[in-house]
Amino acid sequence: MTLDDSYLQKFGFIKRETLGSINIDPLQTGGLLTEAARQTLTEWGDGYSVCDFCGGILDQIKKPPIHDFVHKALPEFLGCDEARVTNGARESKFAVMHSMGKSGDWIVLDGLAHYSSYVAAERAGLNIKVVPHTGSPDYYLDPEGYGTAIEEVTKESGKPPVLALVTYPDGSYGNVPDAGKIASVCHGYDVPLLLNGAYCVGRMPVSAKEIGADFIVGSGHKSMAASGPVGVLGVSEEYAPIVFRKSVHNKVKEIELLGCTARGATVMTLMASFPEVVKRVRNWDQEIENARWFSAKLEDLGFIQRGQKPHSHDLMFFEAPGFYEISQKVKNGRYFLYKELKSRNIHGIKSGLTKFFKLSTFGVGREKLGVVANSFEEILKKYENV
């Protein structure tokens, strides 16, 4: 028997190596749990814990107050008419794509769209038309490109796309596109717009209504201080009956949500962090200042920040010629940077990257950002004469 006790031991309690590090990983900075969420995690960690008093649908549960969270707090926070909790941003996107289109229809995506937008569209059987960006160094997305893409789809397929999507901001450069303009271009062709706010909802102020987006998607584990996987989905009144249509077999269950979504610790941590998330969003100007301050410090060291400048998001992409040069000379090659940062308790730049990497300054604060910038400088100096 291979699954003997000594083998099974390795799956028991596992300590996390990076816990307590200065974290600049874009995937992780917005998902660090608040104290309330940390306590909630053990309190509500048992399987179907939230279903003690369930009448049949997750979003209608009153004890704990999931109903109020989903039907009152979330729509207001997202600036939409109807909201739901999902198992992640990708699940939210898939629910919209699958309900808005049928196999063989077209969708328009921005050139910086995340892979999960592609796979969601593929799973829904949709064809994809991409709105190009301008490439290096700005990766600018021209809102008028949506008009061109919509016209091309209409010409080639005989009908307009069923949906357009904009990534706000994108996960590579942290560029915040002019989503309001994109919404009005799309609406000029009667094409609804989905705002992928995986890096925005829970970090920065956003309102689907103010932007004019018909759908808004967020990621709880990425930007709302929740344990994953969990996401949010906001929909306008017009499209809510389509996306949230119910099963003919089980009259209370919504088809796209497969009846119920985040039914345990994930939704509870999302709710537990929500009061602080609402507050931290109000602090966004300070977060932008911190990002710009950090970027300027790195540029003083010879790094080059790619993407929008001045930058308007904590996610930033850097070119680091100094680190790259070192990687070409030292024994550990391209892993030297990861090791140097690890020894300084800094986590978040992918192991093996030196020439280009992205990072996030969200919630890190000036003091720790200063430590990171100083560490970069120290590392450059350390290898100056190698």
Ligand X SMILES: Cc1ncc(COP(=O)(O)O)c(C=O)c1O
Q: Where are the alpha helices (DSSP H) in the chain?
A: 5-8, 35-43, 66-68, 74-78, 89-100, 115-123, 144-157, 179-188, 208-211, 220-223, 240-243, 265-281, 284-300, 321-329, 336-343, 365-382
Phi first, then psi, for residue 353 (nearest 5°) are: -90, 135
Half-sphere exposure (CA, 13 Å, Cβ side) for 204?
20
For the CB of residue 221, give the shortest distance to ligand X in the complex, in Å. 6
6 is in an annotated binding site: no
Do the annotations mark residue 89 as ligand-binding? yes
How many residues sit in the footprint of ligand X (CB under 6 A)?
A: 14
Point out the residue whose Cβ comes nearest to ligand X.
Answer: 171
Identify which range of 1-9, 125-133, 193-201, 343-351 contacts ligand X by CB under 6 A.
Answer: 193-201
Contacts of ligand X in 336-355 (CB under 6 A): none
Residues 213-242 that bind ligand X (CB under 6 A): 219, 222, 231
- Tokens 């249509």 sit on residue: 245
Report the site for ligand X in 163-182 (rule: CB under 6 A): 167, 171
Interface pick for ligand X out of 166, 198, 204, 260 (rule CB under 6 A): 198
- Residues sharing a CB contact under 8 Å with residue 369, sequence separation 6 or more, in sequence order: 290, 293, 294, 297, 361
196 is in an annotated binding site: yes
Residue for token digits 């003083």?
300
Report in angstroms how near the CB of residue 130 gets to ligand X at its nearest. Answer: 15
By DSSP bridging, strand 231-235 and strand 215-219 are antiparallel
219 is in an annotated binding site: yes
364 touches ligand X by CB under 6 A: no
Residues whose CB is less than 8 angstroms from the CB of residue 269 and which lie 6 or more positions away in sequence, other chains included: 33, 37, 40, 41, 44, 220, 225, 226, 227, 230
In order of 76, 94, 183, 309, the CA distances from 86 in angstroms are 17, 10, 24, 34
Running DSSP on this structure, what letter comes out for residue 158? S
Q: Which of residues 88-117 bind ligand X (CB under 6 A)?
A: 88-90, 114, 116
Does residue 199 touch ligand X according to CB under 6 A?
yes
Q: Inter-axis angle of helices 365-382 and 336-343, to 10 degrees?
A: 130
**220 is annotated as contributing to ligand binding:** yes
Site for ligand X contains 143 (CB under 6 A): no
221 is annotated as contributing to ligand binding: yes
Stretches 85-93, 239-247, 257-265, 366-374: which one binds ligand X (CB under 6 A)?
85-93
Nearer to ligand X, 91 or 340 (CB): 91
- Minimum distance, C-beta of residue 180 to ligand X, in the bound complex (Å): 19
Numbered residues of the known binding site for pyridoxal 5'-phosphate: 89-90, 196, 219-221
**Rule CB under 6 A: which residues touch ligand X?**
27, 88-90, 114, 116, 167, 171, 196, 198-199, 219, 222, 231
Q: Provide the annotated binding site.
A: 89-90, 196, 219-221
